[in-house]
Structure 1
Amino acid sequence: MKPKKNPQLDVRRNSLLYFFVGMTLVLLMAYLALEWKTYYKADSWDVSQKIDEELIEDATILKIKLPDPPKPKIRTPPKIEVAEDDEDVVETVIEPNDVDQDTKVADVEDVAVAEDDIPEEIPFVLIENAPVFPGCEQEKTEEDKRTCFQEQMLKHIRKNFRYPEIAQEMGLQGRVSVIFTVQKDGSIGNVRLKGPHESLEKEAARIIFKLPKLQPGKQRGTPVKVPYSIPITFKLN
């Protein structure tokens, strides 16, 4: 016959309860160990209270006498003397100058006319009456005279053009920018040149100075100086 186990004598009975109780005790002991505090019963270690009284010195009190503040300066008010009138003052009466029906109008001959402020020099593209090249006088409109002027300038350059020998030998070529001014009497002046070589500039200046006398440009009927620019190209064949 098989013996039966007594459930009251089972070792594993209530094992989970014993585990939680044991863990609680261990955590409680660890908490007490960490939070445990101890205090010294005597204060023999506190040396801050034991100070030799001989080292204590009395603080010396210094009394400094400050100088008295400066006294304010009292200024004496100026003495005002009333002078007697030497002469009787005559008051000036200002009369109104408003214009009414009785005001006399000045004559036209008495009115001064300001002169037109005309510049001494006006560019070719802005002047009212451009300089006229000989042979362009028959043109009727101002635009036709400007076109004729430019055409005659090109004909004059082609007619008098001569390539400098030194420039040919050196193989020099390029464009010379020429700016000259048609003076008030129609002559040519203030010639300025800029080119790749001096020999080409001299040839361009020679061509410009051979221009005939022109009719001067006019602004409001008054002769003025007119600058004009034209390029002269030197190119070897």
Structure 2
Amino acid sequence: MEPKKNPHLDVKRNSMLYFFMGMTFVLLMAYLALNWKTYYSENTWDLGAVKVNEDLIEETPFLKLKLPDPPQPKIQSPPKIEIAEDDEKVEETVIEANDVDQDTEISDIESIDVVEDDIPDEIPFILIENAPIFPGCENERTEKEKRECFQEQMLKHIRKNFRYPEVAQELGLEGRVNIIFTVQKDGSIGDVRLRGPHESLEKEAARIISKLPKLQPGKQRGTPVKVPYSIPITFRLN
């Protein structure tokens, strides 16, 4: 059976060849376009041919400045040396040595002043040689027993005179009042200082301390001195 169309007249017969040829031409044009270089035309000056108007050339004037002469150094005249006459002969004073030797006289003992002991006016309770004595503790033998008796009698005195303030009971106040007082040189109580949680408790503690009897004063080397003493009073509701 013969074909209806002539193969030589088929349009699609060489389509692939034409396609590759077109692609090759396009790539060649793109390559040439990317690598195309242009240059500016030369516009150089021939400096040798340029002529400058001589009227425009100015000569720089030279200025001559005269500097002042440097100051001349002052020449001081040499000091005048005068020869003084010899002074009168001065007799030298001989200083005798005060070293003690076997020929030194010894002063009498009665002529030597003895410095009195410097005893402080106030000594704490724990450092005093002879602590204050509470009435009833005089018969204790040792100093340690007298101190222990003093503290026991203080506690008995507080328990005996203790009275809870009504205002503090109504307000439900509790706490500790720290008390510091001083046993004076005559055995009386003074310089009372209190610190507590409420004024009513402080007043009650001050009242208890005010009822202390007169004590025997503390002594340092046999001399009465002031002795501070501190004790707390605790207020607690049952």
Identical counterparts, % of pairs: 73
* TM-score, structure 1 normalization: 0.68
Alignment of 1:153-192 (within 5 A): 153-192=154-193
Q: Which runs of 5+ in 2 are unaligned?
A: 1-41
Deviation at 1:104, TM superposition (A): 1.3
Structure 2 letter corresponding to 1:162: R
Alignment of 1:1-237 (within 5 A): 44=44, 58-69=59-70, 91-237=92-238
Structure 2 letter corresponding to 1:190: D
Deviation at 1:65, TM superposition (A): 4.1
Encode CA deviations 1:173-195: one digit per residue, 9 max, x unaligned: 10001011111111111111110
CA–CA separation in structure 2 for the residues paired with 1:56 and 1:147: 123
Deviation at 1:168, TM superposition (A): 1.0
Encode CA deviations 1:126-152: one digit per residue, 9 max, x unaligned: 111111111111111111111111111
Deviation at 1:204, TM superposition (A): 0.7
- Bigger Rg over Cα: 2
Q: Secondary structure at the match of 1:151?
A: helix
Structure 1 letter corresponding to 2:166: E
Deviation at 1:115, TM superposition (A): 1.7
- Give the equivalent residue in structure 1 for 2:7: none
CA–CA separation in structure 1 for the residues paired with 2:182 and 2:118: 21
Encode CA deviations 1:59-112: one digit per residue, 9 max, x unaligned: 554444444555666599699897998x99665432222211111111222222
CA–CA separation in structure 2 for the residues paired with 1:105 and 1:185: 44
Change (3 A) 1:79 1:215: farther
- Give the equivalent residue in structure 2 for 1:21: none
Structure 1 letter corresponding to 2:113: A
RMSD of the alignment, in Å? 3.4
Deviation at 1:229, TM superposition (A): 0.6
CA–CA separation in structure 1 for the residues paired with 2:57 and 2:73: 48
CA–CA separation in structure 1 for the residues paired with 2:135 and 2:80: 88
CA–CA separation in structure 1 for the residues paired with 2:128 and 2:138: 17
CA–CA separation in structure 1 for the residues paired with 2:118 and 2:51: 105
Change (3 A) 1:157 1:99: same
CA–CA separation in structure 1 for the residues paired with 2:220 and 2:226: 10
Encode CA deviations 1:188-231: one digit per residue, 9 max, x unaligned: 11111110011111111111111111111111111111111110
Change (3 A) 1:44 1:184: same
Change (3 A) 1:57 1:222: farther
Q: Secondary structure at the match of 2:191?
A: strand
Structure 1, 96-105 or 137-146: larger mean CA deviation: 96-105
